[in-house]
Structure 1
Amino acid sequence: MLTPSTAPPFPFREGALFLIDKPQGWTSFDVVNKLRWKIRKHLGLKKFKVGHAGTLDPMATGLLNLCVGQWTKELKQLEGLDKRYTGTIKLGATTPSFDAETEEDAFFPTEHLTLDMLRETALRFTGDIEQVPPMYSAVKVDGQPLYKRARRGEHIEVQPRPVTVHEFALDNFTGTSVDFAISCSKGTYIRTLANDLAEAAGSGGYLTALRRTAVGPYNIEDAWQLDDLLEVIDQL
Protein backbone atom coordinates (compact mmCIF):
# COMPACT_ATOMS: atom_id res chain seq x y z
CA MET A 1 0.00 0.00 0.00
CA LEU A 2 1.01 3.64 -0.49
CA THR A 3 2.57 5.38 2.50
CA PRO A 4 0.90 8.71 3.40
CA SER A 5 2.98 11.88 3.60
CA THR A 6 2.91 13.15 7.19
CA ALA A 7 5.72 15.72 7.16
CA PRO A 8 7.88 17.63 4.63
CA PRO A 9 9.75 17.36 2.39
CA PHE A 10 6.90 16.23 0.16
CA PRO A 11 7.78 14.39 -3.09
CA PHE A 12 5.12 16.20 -5.12
CA ARG A 13 6.43 15.34 -8.59
CA GLU A 14 7.47 11.76 -7.80
CA GLY A 15 4.13 11.10 -6.12
CA ALA A 16 2.57 11.42 -2.68
CA LEU A 17 -0.57 10.40 -0.79
CA PHE A 18 -2.23 12.90 1.53
CA LEU A 19 -4.91 11.91 4.03
CA ILE A 20 -7.26 14.89 4.45
CA ASP A 21 -10.04 15.44 6.99
CA LYS A 22 -12.59 17.01 4.63
CA PRO A 23 -14.45 19.95 6.17
CA GLN A 24 -18.25 20.06 6.14
CA GLY A 25 -19.71 22.06 3.27
CA TRP A 26 -16.79 21.36 0.92
CA THR A 27 -17.12 19.11 -2.11
CA SER A 28 -14.38 16.57 -2.71
CA PHE A 29 -13.42 18.55 -5.81
CA ASP A 30 -13.11 21.71 -3.69
CA VAL A 31 -10.41 19.98 -1.63
CA VAL A 32 -8.63 18.67 -4.74
CA ASN A 33 -8.74 22.10 -6.38
CA LYS A 34 -7.40 23.88 -3.29
CA LEU A 35 -4.47 21.49 -2.88
CA ARG A 36 -3.71 21.53 -6.62
CA TRP A 37 -3.60 25.34 -6.67
CA LYS A 38 -1.28 25.43 -3.65
CA ILE A 39 1.14 22.86 -5.13
CA ARG A 40 1.15 24.57 -8.55
CA LYS A 41 2.00 27.86 -6.86
CA HIS A 42 4.78 26.23 -4.83
CA LEU A 43 6.31 24.46 -7.85
CA GLY A 44 5.70 27.28 -10.31
CA LEU A 45 3.72 25.04 -12.66
CA LYS A 46 0.67 25.76 -14.81
CA LYS A 47 -0.59 22.19 -14.54
CA PHE A 48 -0.27 19.51 -11.88
CA LYS A 49 -2.13 16.26 -11.28
CA VAL A 50 -4.15 15.81 -8.09
CA GLY A 51 -7.01 13.34 -7.65
CA HIS A 52 -9.12 11.84 -4.87
CA ALA A 53 -10.11 8.23 -4.20
CA GLY A 54 -13.78 8.14 -3.23
CA THR A 55 -16.19 11.08 -3.20
CA LEU A 56 -17.65 12.47 0.02
CA ASP A 57 -20.89 14.46 -0.14
CA PRO A 58 -20.61 18.16 0.85
CA MET A 59 -22.52 17.52 4.09
CA ALA A 60 -20.13 14.74 5.11
CA THR A 61 -16.79 15.13 6.86
CA GLY A 62 -13.87 12.80 7.28
CA LEU A 63 -11.20 10.91 5.45
CA LEU A 64 -10.49 11.87 1.86
CA ASN A 65 -7.43 10.28 0.24
CA LEU A 66 -5.66 12.51 -2.30
CA CYS A 67 -2.87 11.39 -4.62
CA VAL A 68 -0.58 13.90 -6.31
CA GLY A 69 1.95 13.69 -9.12
CA GLN A 70 2.81 10.23 -10.40
CA TRP A 71 0.77 8.56 -7.68
CA THR A 72 -2.49 9.65 -9.30
CA LYS A 73 -2.02 6.47 -11.35
CA GLU A 74 -2.64 4.53 -8.13
CA LEU A 75 -6.07 6.00 -7.39
CA LYS A 76 -7.95 2.92 -8.58
CA GLN A 77 -6.34 0.66 -5.99
CA LEU A 78 -7.39 3.09 -3.25
CA GLU A 79 -10.96 3.45 -4.58
CA GLY A 80 -11.56 -0.29 -4.18
CA LEU A 81 -10.81 -0.38 -0.44
CA ASP A 82 -13.47 -0.96 2.22
CA LYS A 83 -14.65 2.09 4.15
CA ARG A 84 -15.90 2.90 7.66
CA TYR A 85 -18.41 5.58 8.63
CA THR A 86 -20.16 6.98 11.67
CA GLY A 87 -23.16 9.26 11.73
CA THR A 88 -26.73 9.98 12.75
CA ILE A 89 -30.09 9.13 11.20
CA LYS A 90 -33.10 11.33 11.94
CA LEU A 91 -36.25 9.21 12.17
CA GLY A 92 -39.84 10.09 11.32
CA ALA A 93 -39.23 12.01 8.09
CA THR A 94 -37.67 11.68 4.65
CA THR A 95 -35.99 14.03 2.18
CA PRO A 96 -35.55 13.63 -1.60
CA SER A 97 -31.76 13.38 -1.22
CA PHE A 98 -31.90 11.01 1.80
CA ASP A 99 -29.86 13.57 3.79
CA ALA A 100 -30.20 17.08 5.23
CA GLU A 101 -29.20 18.75 1.94
CA THR A 102 -32.87 18.92 0.89
CA GLU A 103 -36.09 19.75 2.76
CA GLU A 104 -38.27 17.15 4.48
CA ASP A 105 -41.02 15.97 2.15
CA ALA A 106 -42.91 13.29 4.13
CA PHE A 107 -43.49 12.36 7.77
CA PHE A 108 -43.93 9.02 9.53
CA PRO A 109 -44.67 7.57 12.99
CA THR A 110 -41.81 6.80 15.38
CA GLU A 111 -43.68 5.72 18.52
CA HIS A 112 -43.31 2.02 17.69
CA LEU A 113 -39.52 2.18 17.17
CA THR A 114 -37.04 0.76 19.68
CA LEU A 115 -33.29 0.29 19.53
CA ASP A 116 -33.66 -3.51 19.56
CA MET A 117 -36.14 -3.32 16.69
CA LEU A 118 -33.83 -1.09 14.63
CA ARG A 119 -30.86 -3.37 15.33
CA GLU A 120 -32.85 -6.41 14.20
CA THR A 121 -33.93 -4.53 11.05
CA ALA A 122 -30.31 -3.53 10.32
CA LEU A 123 -29.41 -7.21 10.03
CA ARG A 124 -31.46 -7.28 6.81
CA PHE A 125 -29.01 -4.77 5.34
CA THR A 126 -25.86 -6.55 6.47
CA GLY A 127 -23.80 -8.88 4.28
CA ASP A 128 -24.03 -9.07 0.49
CA ILE A 129 -27.03 -6.97 -0.53
CA GLU A 130 -28.43 -5.15 -3.55
CA GLN A 131 -28.83 -1.40 -3.23
CA VAL A 132 -30.47 1.20 -5.46
CA PRO A 133 -28.37 4.40 -5.64
CA PRO A 134 -30.26 7.57 -4.60
CA MET A 135 -31.57 9.92 -7.26
CA TYR A 136 -29.40 12.67 -5.79
CA SER A 137 -26.12 10.97 -6.70
CA ALA A 138 -23.37 11.18 -9.30
CA VAL A 139 -24.32 7.81 -10.81
CA LYS A 140 -24.73 8.29 -14.56
CA VAL A 141 -27.67 7.00 -16.60
CA ASP A 142 -27.48 7.58 -20.35
CA GLY A 143 -24.37 9.68 -19.76
CA GLN A 144 -25.98 12.12 -17.33
CA PRO A 145 -25.62 12.22 -13.51
CA LEU A 146 -28.79 11.31 -11.65
CA TYR A 147 -28.67 14.43 -9.48
CA LYS A 148 -29.12 16.66 -12.55
CA ARG A 149 -32.24 14.74 -13.52
CA ALA A 150 -33.50 14.88 -9.92
CA ARG A 151 -33.12 18.66 -9.83
CA ARG A 152 -35.28 18.84 -12.95
CA GLY A 153 -37.96 16.79 -11.18
CA GLU A 154 -37.31 13.65 -13.23
CA HIS A 155 -37.40 10.17 -11.73
CA ILE A 156 -35.39 7.45 -13.45
CA GLU A 157 -35.58 3.73 -12.75
CA VAL A 158 -32.12 2.76 -11.51
CA GLN A 159 -30.97 -0.84 -11.38
CA PRO A 160 -29.84 -2.13 -7.97
CA ARG A 161 -26.13 -2.71 -7.48
CA PRO A 162 -24.39 -5.37 -5.37
CA VAL A 163 -22.57 -4.04 -2.30
CA THR A 164 -21.33 -5.58 0.94
CA VAL A 165 -22.08 -4.22 4.40
CA HIS A 166 -19.71 -5.85 6.88
CA GLU A 167 -21.13 -4.10 9.96
CA PHE A 168 -24.21 -1.97 10.63
CA ALA A 169 -24.16 -1.11 14.34
CA LEU A 170 -26.71 1.19 16.01
CA ASP A 171 -26.57 3.05 19.32
CA ASN A 172 -27.78 6.17 21.19
CA PHE A 173 -31.43 5.83 20.17
CA THR A 174 -33.46 8.88 21.28
CA GLY A 175 -36.85 8.00 19.82
CA THR A 176 -36.40 10.33 16.85
CA SER A 177 -32.75 9.67 15.96
CA VAL A 178 -30.13 6.92 16.14
CA ASP A 179 -26.35 6.86 15.73
CA PHE A 180 -24.59 4.27 13.59
CA ALA A 181 -21.21 2.79 12.70
CA ILE A 182 -20.91 1.13 9.30
CA SER A 183 -18.16 -0.85 7.60
CA CYS A 184 -18.82 -1.49 3.91
CA SER A 185 -17.48 -2.07 0.42
CA LYS A 186 -16.79 0.40 -2.33
CA GLY A 187 -19.93 1.89 -3.87
CA THR A 188 -22.16 1.65 -0.79
CA TYR A 189 -24.46 4.63 -0.31
CA ILE A 190 -24.88 5.32 3.41
CA ARG A 191 -27.80 7.65 2.62
CA THR A 192 -29.63 4.74 1.02
CA LEU A 193 -28.94 2.49 4.02
CA ALA A 194 -30.43 5.16 6.31
CA ASN A 195 -33.54 5.49 4.15
CA ASP A 196 -33.98 1.74 3.67
CA LEU A 197 -33.49 0.96 7.37
CA ALA A 198 -36.16 3.42 8.47
CA GLU A 199 -38.58 2.34 5.74
CA ALA A 200 -38.16 -1.33 6.66
CA ALA A 201 -38.88 -0.41 10.29
CA GLY A 202 -42.17 1.23 9.31
CA SER A 203 -41.01 4.83 9.48
CA GLY A 204 -38.87 7.29 7.52
CA GLY A 205 -35.32 8.47 7.97
CA TYR A 206 -32.48 10.50 6.53
CA LEU A 207 -28.87 11.36 7.37
CA THR A 208 -28.18 14.40 9.51
CA ALA A 209 -24.48 13.63 10.06
CA LEU A 210 -21.91 11.46 8.27
CA ARG A 211 -18.19 11.05 8.90
CA ARG A 212 -15.80 8.70 7.09
CA THR A 213 -13.36 7.36 9.67
CA ALA A 214 -11.30 4.88 7.65
CA VAL A 215 -10.48 3.73 4.12
CA GLY A 216 -8.77 0.35 4.14
CA PRO A 217 -5.71 0.70 6.41
CA TYR A 218 -5.90 4.52 6.44
CA ASN A 219 -7.52 6.19 9.48
CA ILE A 220 -8.92 9.64 10.18
CA GLU A 221 -6.61 9.98 13.20
CA ASP A 222 -3.67 10.24 10.77
CA ALA A 223 -5.28 12.83 8.49
CA TRP A 224 -4.23 16.41 7.88
CA GLN A 225 -6.53 19.32 8.59
CA LEU A 226 -6.61 20.98 5.17
CA ASP A 227 -5.63 24.44 6.44
CA ASP A 228 -2.66 22.97 8.33
CA LEU A 229 -1.35 21.19 5.21
CA LEU A 230 -1.74 24.31 3.06
CA GLU A 231 0.13 26.35 5.67
CA VAL A 232 3.01 23.85 5.73
CA ILE A 233 3.28 23.98 1.93
CA ASP A 234 3.35 27.79 2.12
CA GLN A 235 6.38 27.54 4.40
CA LEU A 236 8.38 25.21 2.13
Structure 2
Amino acid sequence: MVLKGSSFAAGVWANAAVLVDKPQDWTSFDVCGKLRGALKVKKVGHAGTLDPMATGLLIICTGQGTKQIDDFVAMEKAYSGTLRLGQATPSYDAMSEIEEELPWEDITDEDLEAAKEAFVGDILQQPPMFSAIKIKGERLYKAARRGEVVERQSRPVTIHSFELQRDESNRQDVHFKVTCSKGTYIRSLAHDLGKAVGSAAHLTALRRESIGEHSVADAWSVLDLVAAAQAARQS
Protein backbone atom coordinates (compact mmCIF):
# COMPACT_ATOMS: atom_id res chain seq x y z
CA MET A 1 0.00 0.00 0.00
CA VAL A 2 1.41 3.41 -1.00
CA LEU A 3 0.46 6.05 1.56
CA LYS A 4 0.16 9.64 0.45
CA GLY A 5 -0.65 12.82 2.36
CA SER A 6 -3.78 11.59 4.11
CA SER A 7 -4.83 10.02 7.41
CA PHE A 8 -4.01 6.41 8.21
CA ALA A 9 -4.34 3.77 10.89
CA ALA A 10 -1.29 2.70 12.88
CA GLY A 11 -1.54 -0.93 11.72
CA VAL A 12 -0.66 -0.13 8.12
CA TRP A 13 3.06 0.09 8.93
CA ALA A 14 3.36 -3.69 8.87
CA ASN A 15 3.27 -3.46 5.05
CA ALA A 16 3.47 0.02 3.53
CA ALA A 17 5.30 2.48 1.35
CA VAL A 18 5.00 6.16 2.24
CA LEU A 19 5.90 9.24 0.20
CA VAL A 20 8.15 11.63 2.15
CA ASP A 21 9.54 15.05 1.20
CA LYS A 22 13.14 14.89 2.45
CA PRO A 23 14.35 18.10 4.09
CA GLN A 24 17.62 19.72 3.07
CA ASP A 25 20.69 18.68 5.10
CA TRP A 26 19.08 15.38 6.16
CA THR A 27 20.55 12.15 4.83
CA SER A 28 18.20 9.48 3.54
CA PHE A 29 19.40 7.37 6.46
CA ASP A 30 18.37 10.16 8.86
CA VAL A 31 14.81 10.03 7.53
CA CYS A 32 14.65 6.25 7.92
CA GLY A 33 15.97 6.49 11.48
CA LYS A 34 13.48 9.18 12.44
CA LEU A 35 10.56 7.19 11.08
CA ARG A 36 11.77 3.91 12.55
CA GLY A 37 11.59 5.46 15.98
CA ALA A 38 8.28 7.24 15.42
CA LEU A 39 6.48 4.35 13.75
CA LYS A 40 7.86 1.66 16.07
CA VAL A 41 8.66 -0.56 13.08
CA LYS A 42 11.91 -2.53 12.89
CA LYS A 43 12.16 -2.86 9.11
CA VAL A 44 12.42 0.54 7.41
CA GLY A 45 14.21 1.28 4.12
CA HIS A 46 14.20 3.83 1.33
CA ALA A 47 13.92 3.41 -2.42
CA GLY A 48 16.78 5.51 -3.74
CA THR A 49 19.26 7.74 -1.88
CA LEU A 50 19.07 11.52 -1.98
CA ASP A 51 22.21 13.50 -1.13
CA PRO A 52 22.05 15.67 2.02
CA MET A 53 21.90 18.88 -0.04
CA ALA A 54 18.95 17.61 -2.07
CA THR A 55 15.28 17.79 -1.15
CA GLY A 56 12.29 15.98 -2.53
CA LEU A 57 10.68 12.61 -2.87
CA LEU A 58 11.85 9.63 -0.85
CA ILE A 59 9.72 6.50 -0.86
CA ILE A 60 10.08 4.92 2.58
CA CYS A 61 9.06 1.27 2.85
CA THR A 62 8.15 -0.40 6.14
CA GLY A 63 7.69 -3.98 7.30
CA GLN A 64 6.79 -6.33 4.47
CA GLY A 65 6.67 -3.26 2.22
CA THR A 66 10.48 -3.32 2.06
CA LYS A 67 10.08 -6.12 -0.50
CA GLN A 68 8.90 -3.41 -2.94
CA ILE A 69 12.09 -1.35 -2.72
CA ASP A 70 13.73 -2.75 -5.86
CA ASP A 71 10.53 -2.10 -7.85
CA PHE A 72 10.52 1.58 -6.83
CA VAL A 73 14.28 1.96 -7.43
CA ALA A 74 13.83 0.73 -11.02
CA MET A 75 11.30 3.46 -11.84
CA GLU A 76 12.05 6.60 -13.88
CA LYS A 77 13.05 9.63 -11.77
CA ALA A 78 12.38 13.33 -12.37
CA TYR A 79 14.47 16.15 -10.89
CA SER A 80 14.64 19.92 -10.94
CA GLY A 81 17.55 22.03 -9.79
CA THR A 82 20.17 24.68 -10.45
CA LEU A 83 23.80 24.45 -11.54
CA ARG A 84 26.39 27.22 -11.39
CA LEU A 85 28.75 27.68 -14.31
CA GLY A 86 32.44 28.49 -13.92
CA GLN A 87 32.99 26.79 -10.56
CA ALA A 88 34.01 23.21 -9.79
CA THR A 89 33.90 21.45 -6.41
CA PRO A 90 35.24 18.01 -5.40
CA SER A 91 31.73 16.74 -4.60
CA TYR A 92 30.21 18.29 -7.77
CA ASP A 93 27.76 20.20 -5.54
CA ALA A 94 27.72 22.99 -2.96
CA MET A 95 28.57 20.63 -0.08
CA SER A 96 32.30 21.16 -0.62
CA GLU A 97 34.51 24.18 -1.25
CA ILE A 98 35.16 25.57 -4.72
CA GLU A 99 38.44 24.12 -6.00
CA GLU A 100 38.57 25.64 -9.48
CA GLU A 101 37.16 28.72 -11.20
CA LEU A 102 37.04 29.09 -14.97
CA PRO A 103 35.61 31.71 -17.33
CA TRP A 104 31.91 31.30 -18.06
CA GLU A 105 30.79 34.74 -19.26
CA ASP A 106 31.11 33.89 -22.97
CA ILE A 107 28.94 30.77 -22.73
CA THR A 108 25.73 31.41 -24.68
CA ASP A 109 22.34 29.77 -24.32
CA GLU A 110 22.98 28.18 -27.71
CA ASP A 111 26.25 26.70 -26.43
CA LEU A 112 24.41 25.09 -23.53
CA GLU A 113 21.62 23.75 -25.72
CA ALA A 114 24.09 22.25 -28.18
CA ALA A 115 26.21 20.67 -25.43
CA LYS A 116 23.29 19.11 -23.58
CA GLU A 117 22.31 17.02 -26.63
CA ALA A 118 25.29 14.75 -26.01
CA PHE A 119 23.76 13.84 -22.64
CA VAL A 120 20.28 12.87 -23.85
CA GLY A 121 19.61 9.19 -24.47
CA ASP A 122 21.74 6.22 -23.45
CA ILE A 123 25.06 7.49 -22.09
CA LEU A 124 28.00 6.32 -19.99
CA GLN A 125 28.44 8.24 -16.77
CA GLN A 126 31.29 8.16 -14.26
CA PRO A 127 30.11 8.25 -10.64
CA PRO A 128 31.50 11.11 -8.53
CA MET A 129 34.19 10.38 -5.95
CA PHE A 130 31.82 11.61 -3.25
CA SER A 131 29.40 8.69 -3.57
CA ALA A 132 28.49 5.59 -1.58
CA ILE A 133 29.64 3.15 -4.25
CA LYS A 134 32.01 0.50 -2.90
CA ILE A 135 35.31 -0.21 -4.68
CA LYS A 136 37.57 -2.84 -3.15
CA GLY A 137 35.32 -2.92 -0.09
CA GLU A 138 35.43 0.80 0.69
CA ARG A 139 32.90 3.56 0.07
CA LEU A 140 34.24 6.05 -2.46
CA TYR A 141 33.45 9.06 -0.27
CA LYS A 142 35.84 7.78 2.41
CA ALA A 143 38.74 7.83 -0.07
CA ALA A 144 37.57 11.23 -1.34
CA ARG A 145 37.71 12.68 2.18
CA ARG A 146 41.36 11.59 2.34
CA GLY A 147 41.99 13.49 -0.88
CA GLU A 148 42.40 10.33 -2.93
CA VAL A 149 41.07 9.72 -6.43
CA VAL A 150 40.04 6.13 -7.22
CA GLU A 151 39.58 4.83 -10.75
CA ARG A 152 35.87 4.38 -11.42
CA GLN A 153 34.16 2.46 -14.19
CA SER A 154 31.64 4.46 -16.20
CA ARG A 155 28.10 3.11 -15.95
CA PRO A 156 25.26 3.06 -18.50
CA VAL A 157 22.33 5.33 -17.67
CA THR A 158 19.54 6.88 -19.71
CA ILE A 159 18.61 10.57 -19.77
CA HIS A 160 15.06 10.72 -21.12
CA SER A 161 14.82 14.53 -21.15
CA PHE A 162 17.07 17.45 -20.17
CA GLU A 163 15.71 21.02 -20.14
CA LEU A 164 17.79 24.12 -19.39
CA GLN A 165 16.82 27.70 -18.59
CA ARG A 166 19.32 30.45 -17.82
CA ASP A 167 18.54 32.52 -14.73
CA GLU A 168 17.38 35.98 -15.82
CA SER A 169 19.06 37.90 -13.00
CA ASN A 170 22.24 35.80 -12.72
CA ARG A 171 23.47 34.31 -15.99
CA GLN A 172 25.98 32.15 -14.14
CA ASP A 173 23.11 30.02 -12.83
CA VAL A 174 21.25 27.55 -15.02
CA HIS A 175 17.96 25.96 -13.92
CA PHE A 176 17.18 22.50 -15.25
CA LYS A 177 14.69 19.66 -15.35
CA VAL A 178 15.80 16.07 -15.91
CA THR A 179 14.01 12.75 -16.27
CA CYS A 180 16.31 9.75 -16.11
CA SER A 181 16.83 6.10 -15.32
CA LYS A 182 17.89 4.63 -12.01
CA GLY A 183 21.55 5.05 -11.13
CA THR A 184 21.90 8.50 -12.69
CA TYR A 185 24.02 11.02 -10.78
CA ILE A 186 22.65 14.50 -11.40
CA ARG A 187 25.83 15.92 -9.83
CA SER A 188 27.88 14.19 -12.52
CA LEU A 189 25.50 15.43 -15.20
CA ALA A 190 26.03 19.05 -14.06
CA HIS A 191 29.80 18.56 -13.78
CA ASP A 192 30.04 17.00 -17.24
CA LEU A 193 27.89 19.69 -18.85
CA GLY A 194 30.22 22.35 -17.45
CA LYS A 195 33.19 20.60 -19.02
CA ALA A 196 31.34 20.18 -22.31
CA VAL A 197 30.97 23.96 -22.68
CA GLY A 198 34.65 24.52 -21.93
CA SER A 199 34.20 25.61 -18.33
CA ALA A 200 33.09 24.01 -15.07
CA ALA A 201 29.85 23.59 -13.12
CA HIS A 202 28.45 22.29 -9.85
CA LEU A 203 24.99 21.84 -8.36
CA THR A 204 23.65 24.54 -6.05
CA ALA A 205 20.14 23.05 -5.69
CA LEU A 206 18.49 19.71 -6.41
CA ARG A 207 14.97 18.42 -5.84
CA ARG A 208 13.50 15.03 -6.77
CA GLU A 209 10.05 15.70 -8.16
CA SER A 210 8.83 12.18 -8.82
CA ILE A 211 9.57 8.46 -8.87
CA GLY A 212 7.49 6.72 -11.51
CA GLU A 213 3.91 7.95 -11.11
CA HIS A 214 4.53 9.05 -7.50
CA SER A 215 4.91 12.81 -7.02
CA VAL A 216 6.47 14.86 -4.24
CA ALA A 217 3.26 16.92 -4.35
CA ASP A 218 1.57 14.00 -2.57
CA ALA A 219 4.34 13.51 -0.01
CA TRP A 220 4.36 14.02 3.76
CA SER A 221 6.82 16.28 5.49
CA VAL A 222 8.84 14.25 8.00
CA LEU A 223 7.47 16.16 11.00
CA ASP A 224 3.85 15.90 9.85
CA LEU A 225 4.24 12.17 9.28
CA VAL A 226 5.74 11.65 12.72
CA ALA A 227 2.92 13.65 14.34
CA ALA A 228 0.23 11.75 12.40
CA ALA A 229 1.75 8.38 13.29
CA GLN A 230 1.88 9.29 16.97
CA ALA A 231 -1.73 10.48 16.89
CA ALA A 232 -2.84 7.26 15.19
CA ARG A 233 -1.12 5.14 17.83
CA GLN A 234 -2.70 7.11 20.68
CA SER A 235 -6.18 6.78 19.22
Question: Which of 145, 158, 163 in structure 2 is aligned with 1:164?
Answer: 158
> Which ranges in structure 2 are unaligned for 5 or more consecutive residues?
none
Q: CA RMSD in A?
A: 1.1
Quote the residue 1:222 is aligned against: 218
C-alpha displacement of 1:102: 0.3
C-alpha displacement of 1:11: 3.5
> Which ranges in structure 1 are unaligned for 5 or more consecutive residues?
41-46
Mapping for residues 84-163 of structure 1, pairs under 5 Å: 84-163=78-157
Contact 1:81-1:216 within 8 A present in 2 as well: yes
Contact 2:39-2:230 within 8 A present in 1 as well: no
Helix, strand or coil at the partner of 1:120: helix
C-alpha displacement of 1:120: 1.2
Contact 1:110-1:175 within 8 A present in 2 as well: no
Could you tell me how far apart the structure 1 residues matched to 2:13 and 2:100 are?
51
Could you tell me how far apart the structure 2 residues matched to 1:143 and 1:151 are?
16
Could you tell me how far apart the structure 2 residues matched to 1:178 and 1:14 are?
43
Q: Counterpart of 1:74 in structure 2: which amino acid?
A: Q
Contact 2:160-2:179 within 8 A present in 1 as well: yes
Residues 88, 13 of structure 1: alpha-carbon distance in 2 compared, 3 angstrom cutoff: closer
Greater than 4 Å deviation, 4+ residue runs: none
C-alpha displacement of 1:39: 1.1
Quote the residue 1:82 is aligned against: 76
Q: Deviations over 1:173-226 (max 9, x none)?
A: 432110000000000000000000010101110000000000001001100011
Quote the residue 1:33 is aligned against: 33
Residues 13, 85 of structure 1: alpha-carbon distance in 2 compared, 3 angstrom cutoff: closer
C-alpha displacement of 1:161: 0.2
Quote the residue 1:233 is aligned against: 229
Residues 13, 3 of structure 1: alpha-carbon distance in 2 compared, 3 angstrom cutoff: closer
Q: Counterpart of 2:204 in structure 1: which amino acid?
A: T
Q: Counterpart of 1:176 in structure 2: which amino acid?
A: Q
Q: Counterpart of 2:186 in structure 1: which amino acid?
A: I
Q: Counterpart of 1:82 in structure 2: which amino acid?
A: E
Moved more, 6-15 or 107-116: 6-15
Tell me how many residue pairs correspond in the alignment. 229
Q: Return the TM-score normalized by structure 1.
A: 0.94
Could you tell me how far apart the structure 1 residues matched to 2:63 and 2:8 are?
15
C-alpha displacement of 1:94: 0.2
Contact 2:2-2:19 within 8 A present in 1 as well: no
Q: Return the TM-score normalized by structure 2.
A: 0.94
Q: Counterpart of 2:164 in structure 1: which amino acid?
A: L
C-alpha displacement of 1:10: 4.2
C-alpha displacement of 1:13: 4.6
Could you tell me how far apart the structure 2 residues matched to 1:178 and 1:11 are?
45
Could you tell me how far apart the structure 2 residues matched to 1:137 and 1:3 are?
29
Q: Counterpart of 2:39 in structure 1: which amino acid?
A: I
How many percent of aligned residue pairs carry the same amino acid? 48
Quote the residue 1:183 is aligned against: 179
Quote the residue 1:21 is aligned against: 21
C-alpha displacement of 1:122: 0.5
